């Protein structure tokens, strides 16, 4: 007997495979520096935890409305004003994490044979859900010389009569890249001209070092063709709480709610009340986290650029560096995959090969710097030692 063939179309996240390998090393008594998993090191803010605990004690443990607790949907809608997006609670659907909303959006918008424009490098689940929904992913490149902004000209060249959907992720995983306002305007014009849907993944939107907060959905004519995917995991350090949401045209919200009912029924009620406290309470923990991440980013970028054969741009958002290690690879004949594997095995520094995010990641690594500065220093020392010890390729 064989399972349904659609399961064979699903990809995965290399971060979890590398984490498993790192855990095996730790079980053998080694100390590993973890830069592979994209998770804030800040604890969930105390007032958010207290709100969740209070909700449990108050008996808020029964089913919620499928679309979400009304108070949370209203608070989410009001919070969108910071991005210039006008929405009401009727535009908001709450899900147990942002990833279920990404899946729901793909299933709701992609027909069999549709082409889906996905960033390369990019979060691997985009390609995975596009294929699962019956679509065909079409990679578009990023411009490394402009902080990994989407290359609008290349996107335009890839649009065909079969193109149905454009996926944006800003700030971007794995590069920390963003888009200039003129880039967003040009992308919006393409979407309107070619009648495209847009999925705008904005889960890192609170973590920008230039103080900006924007969304393509705020531009003229875009709210009616955009699904914003967002969540509480990154900005509020609530990864394990599993709380996300989507913003969409009201006409899509009803069938999307039906899809949620068929899939997860609803999101845990007490978790939604914790999310309400996160949105409506003090934002000082977020500000403090972003300030700390900026210092860690600068430490890591400075250290990487001091290593022979490594070049690293300064990310504008998120908490990842995406260094180009092409110089070291060319000198030694290694691939970025073998570099990452040996770095873990020999120096006990866990990172991801850039190709975990698509062919556009060739020659790069992804490092998550949401950890203690001392751990970043250990990682840099390990990378320096590893690169120094690599034997050059024989002529």
- State pLDDT tens for residues 111-146: 999 999 999 999 999 999 999 999 999 999 999 989
Strand, coil or helix: what is 139? strand
Could you tell me if residue 339 is inside a domain? yes
Q: What is residue 392's predicted lDDT score, i.e. its pLDDT? A: 80
- Tell me whether residue 193 is exposed, middle or buried, using C-beta atoms within 10 angstroms of its C-beta: 0 to 12, 13 to 18, 19 or more: exposed
Closest CA to 95 of 235, 275, 217, 251: 275
Q: Are 246 and 229 in contact (CB under 8 A)?
A: yes
Instruction: Outline where the chain has alpha helix (H).
Output: 14-27, 46-57, 70-79, 98-109, 124-132, 152-158, 181-193, 250-263, 269-280, 284-305, 326-332, 336-342, 373-389
Are residue 39 and residue 56 in the same domain, yes or no?
no
Q: What is residue 12's predicted lDDT score, i.e. its pLDDT? A: 83
Question: Average pLDDT of 177-189?
Answer: 97
Residue 323: give its domain's CATH number: 3.90.1150.10
Q: Are 350 and 236 in contact (CB under 8 A)?
A: no
Are residue 61 and residue 91 in the same domain, yes or no?
yes
Q: CA–CA separation, 200 vs 83, rounded Å?
A: 12
Q: CA–CA separation, 254 vs 71, rounded Å?
A: 18
Q: CA–CA separation, 101 vs 99, rounded Å?
A: 5
Q: CA–CA separation, 371 vs 379, rounded Å?
A: 11
- Tell me whether residue 166 is exposed, middle or buried, using C-beta atoms within 10 angstroms of its C-beta: 0 to 12, 13 to 18, 19 or more: buried
Could you tell me if residue 326 is inside a domain? yes
- Give 94's strand partners: 245
Q: Are 98 and 143 in contact (CB under 8 A)?
A: no
Question: Average pLDDT of 71-93?
Answer: 98
Question: Average pLDDT of 42-67?
Answer: 97
Are residue 221 and residue 338 in the same domain, yes or no?
no
Are residue 249 and residue 373 in the same domain, yes or no?
no
Could you tell me if residue 393 is inside a domain? no
Element (H, E) at 247: strand 244-247
Q: Is the model's pLDDT at 315 over the cut of 80?
A: yes
Domain boundary among 280, 297, 332: 280
Could you tell me if residue 395 is inside a domain? no
Phi, psi of 385, rounded to the nearest 5 degrees:
-65, -40
- Give 366's strand partners: 352
CA gyration radius, the chain: 21
Residue 51: give its domain's CATH number: 3.40.640.10
Q: CA–CA separation, 169 vs 201, rounded Å?
A: 5
Average pLDDT value for the chain: 96
Q: What is residue 394's predicted lDDT score, i.e. its pLDDT? A: 57
Q: What is residue 269's predicted lDDT score, i.e. its pLDDT? A: 98
Q: What is residue 393's predicted lDDT score, i.e. its pLDDT? A: 62
Are residue 239 and residue 319 in the same domain, yes or no?
no
Could you tell me if residue 75 is inside a domain? yes
Q: What is residue 89's predicted lDDT score, i.e. its pLDDT? A: 98
Domain hosting residue 378, numbered range? 5-43+285-388
**What is the total residue count of the chain?**
395
Are residue 211 and residue 330 in the same domain, yes or no?
no
Could you tell me if residue 356 is inside a domain? yes
Q: What is residue 11's predicted lDDT score, i.e. its pLDDT? A: 87
Q: CA–CA separation, 357 vs 3, rounded Å?
A: 27
Are residue 179 and residue 68 in the same domain, yes or no?
yes
Q: What is residue 2's predicted lDDT score, i.e. its pLDDT? A: 85
Are residue 315 and residue 266 in the same domain, yes or no?
no
Are residue 159 and residue 228 in the same domain, yes or no?
yes
Q: Is the model's pLDDT at 395 over the cut of 60?
A: no
Residue 339 tokens read as 């570099």
Are residue 220 and residue 113 in the same domain, yes or no?
yes
Are residue 211 and residue 315 in the same domain, yes or no?
no
Domain boundary among 238, 258, 280: 280
Share of the chain above pLDDT 70, in %: 99
Could you tell me if residue 394 is inside a domain? no
Could you tell me if residue 199 is inside a domain? yes
Structural domain total, the chain: 2
Are residue 172 and residue 56 in the same domain, yes or no?
yes
Q: What is residue 390's predicted lDDT score, i.e. its pLDDT? A: 86
Domain boundary among 248, 280, 312: 280
């Amino acid at each position: 007997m064989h399972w349904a063939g659609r399961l064979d179309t699903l990809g995965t996240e290399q971060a979890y495979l590398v984490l498993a390998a790192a855990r095996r090393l730790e079980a053998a008594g080694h100390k590993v520096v973890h830069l592979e998993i994209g998770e804030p090191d800040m604890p969930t803010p105390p007032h958010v935890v207290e709100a969740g605990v209070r909700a449990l004690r108050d008996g808020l443990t029964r089913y919620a409305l499928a679309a979400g607790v009304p108070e949370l949907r209203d608070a989410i809608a009001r919070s969108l004003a910071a991005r210039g997006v006008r929405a009401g609670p009727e535009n908001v659907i709450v899900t147990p994490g942002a990833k279920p909303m990404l899946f729901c959006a793909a299933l709701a918008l992609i027909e069999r044979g549709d082409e889906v424009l996905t960033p390369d490098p990019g979060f691997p689940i985009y390609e995975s859900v596009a294929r699962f929904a019956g679509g065909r992913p079409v990679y578009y490149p990023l411009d490394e010389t402009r902080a990994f902004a989407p290359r609008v000209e290349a996107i335009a060249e890839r649009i065909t009569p079969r193109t149905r959907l454009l996926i944006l992720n800003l700030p971007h995983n794995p590069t920390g890249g963003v888009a200039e306002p003129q880039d967003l305007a040009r992308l919006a014009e393409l979407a309107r001209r070619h009648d495209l849907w847009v999925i705008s993944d904005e889960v890192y939107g609170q973590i920008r070092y230039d103080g900006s907060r924007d969304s393509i959905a705020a531009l003229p004519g875009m709210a009616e063709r955009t699904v914003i995917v967002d969540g509480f995991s990154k900005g509020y350090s609530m990864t394990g709480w599993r709380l996300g949401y989507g913003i969409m045209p009201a006409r899509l919200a009803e069938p999307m709610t039906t899809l949620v009912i068929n899939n997860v029924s609803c999101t845990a009620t007490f978790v939604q009340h914790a999310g309400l406290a996160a949105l409506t309470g003090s934002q000082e923990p977020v500000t403090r986290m972003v300030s700390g991440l900026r210092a860690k980013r600068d430490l890591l970028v400075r250290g990487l650029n001091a290593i022979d054969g490594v070049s690293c741009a300064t990310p504008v958002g998120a908490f990842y560096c995406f260094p180009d290690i092409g110089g070291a690879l060319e000198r030694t004949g290694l691939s970025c995959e073998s570099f990452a594997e040996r770095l873990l095995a020999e120096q006990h520094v866990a990172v991801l090969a850039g190709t975990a995010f698509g062919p556009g990641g060739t020659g790069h690594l992804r490092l998550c710097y949401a950890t203690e500065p001392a751990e970043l220093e250990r990682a840099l020392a390990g990378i320096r030692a590893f690169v120094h010890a690599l034997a050059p390729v024989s002529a």
